[in-house]
Structure 1
Amino acid sequence: MLRDFLVEALVTGTSAGCGVSLPLGRATTHGPARSGVAARLGGRITTPSGSSIDAGGSVWPTAIYWTLVQIGTPPQDFPVAIDSGSGDLDVGGKGCKGCVTTAQNRGYDPTASSTSQKAAPYNFSNTYETCDLKHPTAPCTITGDIYSDQVGMAGLGFVDVKVGSIMTQDSNFDQFKEIDGVVGFTRNGKDGEGVFRNLVAAGKAYNAWAMCMHEGSHSNGTITIGGVDGRLSDGPIQYVPDTGDGDYEVKVETLVLGETTIKLNQNSILDTGTNILLLPSKMLAEVNKQMCADSSLTNCSDLWANKCVSLTEAQVDAFPSLTLRLTGGVDLVMTSRDYLLLGSPVAHASGEFCLGIRDGGSLFIIGDTTMRRYYLVFDLAAKRIGWGKVNKDTCGSDLSAEVQTEMVV
């Protein structure tokens, strides 16, 4: 789900990223329509390359990554946050009170689409927590109407999808202050909900999607719909079991902090709508204890007390790496630069660093600050999660001149 626990800077600003690979923001380039069926050959899985398109955004100020979907007849572009933790499609509606009206955003007008009609249950009201980081306990709510309409994504064709048209939006919803919409990618959902789910059901896309987050020459990342785009991984993609049911999850065997190993054997949710690493309370306390046992680390206790502090480059680099070791043999490595972050709205000065590891209560969630090192594959067909080192030459760049190939893994 969209979870904005701490907003820190991945990149400066929010410029805009074979299925089809779409760029995350600035501009959108639609690749040719592709679909495919996985073929098992000698124990190997041949995965279609999918369609890759731009993705835009960052951890701050949007606290999400976003791309475009096309809604209605005739179709119009709508920017939507990419959320692996939910299944709905919601966009700002025409005449919405409190919605964003800046460029890229537009109001959904059901009367302008010949294929739009009201759909049960006709209305919705969603309330979220941790909406405004300066007042983290204050909830926020969006309400609106539900329609059924034709929706397309990544040039793969159109399917009938339920569209939530937001008509009222609280002013403290930080994540919707830049991009007023969300598209969910969970594997489970109700009939008619979910753009990707319906594209797969209609035979227009293979049951896998992937994304990378990197500020390239063209956008701030790339999302692939209906396959795996080998151009976006710098080397082979390693797969581990998807241990979740509704959510995408991986099993974390140990957390390695510098030279210290902490045994976990616990599932962690993968959520593109969460910007940082969230640890369960007991795990958080143990990592805090182990890290700050090193008295040479500057302002360690203050950082873990959720204070933002000034640090030199050398002081930041002195903090240890953090590795999540997954069942299946994949290590997710975070350097101090991945969890000591600039740009938080709760910092008193622009040069202050804040800790990008927070208390998830009972939840263990891997968010964008960990994911951004990888081309992350959600292979629903094989119920597995793939991790490839992000190709910084292609992620967020114009892929139109690059040769697209199928991945055999």
Structure 2
Amino acid sequence: MQFPASLLATITLALLSVDARPVKRSNGMITLPIRKLQRDSNLHVELRHQQHMNRAERLVARAAGLPGPSDAQLSANLERRASFLSPSEKRFNRPSSDYLLPSEDSDSDISNLAVENDDTSSNSRPVLAQKSSDVQPEGNDASYVATVQLGTPSRDFVIILDSGSGDFWVESDVCVLDTDNSQGCGNHSFLSEASSSSFVNTHKDWSITYGSGAAAGELVTDTLVLGGMVLGNHTFGVAHNVSQSFASDRIADGLMGLGRGALSNQNTPTPVQSLVNAGFIKQAITSYRLPRIHDNVDVGEVTFGGLDNTKFDPSTLVTVNCTDNGFYIPVLDGITVNGASLTLLGTHAIMDTGTSLLVAPKQDAAAIHAKIPGAKLQNSGQYSVPCNTAASVALKFGGKEFAINPKDLVFASGGRTTGDCSSGIGAFTDDTARFLVGDTFLKAVYFSTNDGENTITLAKAI
């Protein structure tokens, strides 16, 4: 079906407001501007850090084909992390009530969450449950989001971009929480035959569990407009059930998996593959220039079909083969800290734009932080670094080193330049021998994935 030009609205990306920069199309490539969406949260920074660690543990288990930690285990991780907060940090504001983690006294006064480390009675309840904290075990406080168009007439849907999965879905108009069918899925845009005349339900079920939530529903076909390119009868999912983490997200209406097609639980072509099949792009390549939110510079973009050579130093370009299990997992050649090479346990790295941290095997995280001046091991098993650290940590892929920006070695400093901050490099608590390479590293590079060739490409970002 051919839409009038007026309906083919330019794709934009949002940070609470629409980014008006134009889509670029040239040489068989489609480039969209992107920004990182930072959600406001009053949750203590240590617990936000743990939320990202929880996501990392689930994703690494999934990549290894192993059962991931349960919701109860992830909640226990948060309980344990809260128990290590110092007396001066005993009180902190709870986040929105949309993020309630059920507990025995959910009707209690929870205007503030008290962490009561001095309660040593034998029947003391976990520190988070004592006040029915609004802490979810799988939450994300930052995402890269895009606005795409779906249906007839065409409507905007704000979509999370996730390189660690292969499914595309949006919420349906009958969407409810997977834990409480009496509650809807928030204030979102929903898709159904009532809102789109080109909507066709196949009545085939699908479901997926992420490191940061879950969704389930049915497969449908409808028109997807991506970068001005019309994909008619595209097959994707509508979610009838989502986890609290998706329902309470005030911005995103769904998620677009930009990983390998082999990761698709829906067993359908990804949008990138569909762009190739339709002849809009030549290769199933997705390239990222990830922005640093506090720089306030519009440099972020995602390109389908190739690499935008205005965003990287071509002399640093390297392409690396990946292992063949669905995720993009290249060999990690090594790590240096302030020029000193380390002996590593982990030799492979899962590359994932949806993970905020760089997470290392416990032994390797210890070796890295031992070389960062002022770094300290916390009781929680995670690390702090000076908020003003200037340490140079570099990862080597394909024989070339790529240095992390020192700004990204600090997790959520809140603008502080003195004292200690949580490290942007986390430590797995189990015996995994893989790194999970997220935004701590990826913001310093131009990062591309090639589904057809099962390769990644890295270059120094500019």
TM (norm. structure 1) is: 0.70
Structure 2 vs 1, CA of residues 351 and 212 (structure 1 numbering), >3 Å: closer, same or farther?
farther
Q: Distance in 1 between matches of 2:245 and 2:272?
A: 29
1:112 corresponds to: 195
- 1:161–1:192 CA contact under 8 A, matched in 2: no
Q: Distance in 2 between matches of 1:302 and 1:278?
A: 16
- 2:207–2:216 CA contact under 8 A, matched in 1: yes
Alignment of 1:149 onto 2:222? yes
Aligned-pair identity in percent equals 22
1:99 corresponds to: 185
Alignment of 1:121 onto 2:204? yes
Q: Which has the higher strand share?
A: 1
Structure 2 vs 1, CA of residues 173 and 117 (structure 1 numbering), >3 Å: closer, same or farther?
closer
- 2:186–2:248 CA contact under 8 A, matched in 1: no
Q: CA deviation at 1:87?
A: 0.7
Alignment of 1:358 onto 2:443? no
2:240 corresponds to: 167
Q: 2:149 aligns with which of 42, 54, 70?
A: 70
1:300 corresponds to: 376
Structure 2 vs 1, CA of residues 151 and 387 (structure 1 numbering), >3 Å: closer, same or farther?
same
Per-residue CA shift, 1:149-172, capped at 9, x if unaligned? Answer: 221211233143333222333334
Q: Which blocks of at least 5 consecutive residues in structure 1 are unaligned?
A: 1-20, 35-47, 132-139, 392-409
Q: CA deviation at 1:22?
A: 6.6
Per-residue CA shift, 1:229-272, capped at 9, x if unaligned? Answer: 22222554502223132112221111112243123472211111
Structure 2 vs 1, CA of residues 355 and 59 (structure 1 numbering), >3 Å: closer, same or farther?
farther
Which secondary structure state, in structure 1, belongs to the residue aligned with residue 147 of structure 2?
strand
Counterpart amino acid of 1:251? V
Query: Which structure 2 residues correspond to residues 159-198 of structure 1 after superposition, within 5 A?
Result: 159-173=232-246, 176-189=249-262, 191-198=267-274
Per-residue CA shift, 1:109-142, capped at 9, x if unaligned? Answer: 33222221112523x343344x4xxxxxxxx443
- 1:119–1:148 CA contact under 8 A, matched in 2: yes
Greater Cα offset, 233-242 or 150-159: 233-242
Q: 1:373 aligns with which of 427, 441, 444?
A: 444
- 2:192–2:199 CA contact under 8 A, matched in 1: no
Structure 2 vs 1, CA of residues 259 and 322 (structure 1 numbering), >3 Å: closer, same or farther?
same
2:278 corresponds to: 202
Higher gyration radius (CA): 2
Per-residue CA shift, 1:330-349, capped at 9, x if unaligned? Answer: 212124321212258xx9xx
2:231 corresponds to: 158
1:334 corresponds to: 404
Structure 2 vs 1, CA of residues 285 and 90 (structure 1 numbering), >3 Å: closer, same or farther?
same
Alignment of 1:273 onto 2:354? yes
Per-residue CA shift, 1:42-74, capped at 9, x if unaligned? Answer: xxxxxx461111212246554221112221122
Q: CA deviation at 1:89?
A: 0.6
Q: Which has the higher helix share?
A: 2
Q: CA deviation at 1:304?
A: 7.3
TM (norm. structure 2) is: 0.62
1:250 corresponds to: 330
Q: CA deviation at 1:303?
A: 8.5
Counterpart amino acid of 2:200? Q
Q: Distance in 1 between matches of 2:269 and 2:408?
A: 34
Greater Cα offset, 299-308 or 178-187: 299-308
Q: How many aligned positions are there? A: 331
Q: Distance in 2 between matches of 1:273 and 1:387?
A: 17
Structure 2 vs 1, CA of residues 203 and 94 (structure 1 numbering), >3 Å: closer, same or farther?
same
Q: Which blocks of at least 5 consecutive residues in structure 2 are unaligned?
A: 1-9, 41-140, 177-183
Structure 2 vs 1, CA of residues 338 and 69 (structure 1 numbering), >3 Å: closer, same or farther?
same
Counterpart amino acid of 2:31? S
Structure 2 vs 1, CA of residues 117 and 221 (structure 1 numbering), >3 Å: closer, same or farther?
same
Provide the aligned C-alpha RMSD in A: 3.4
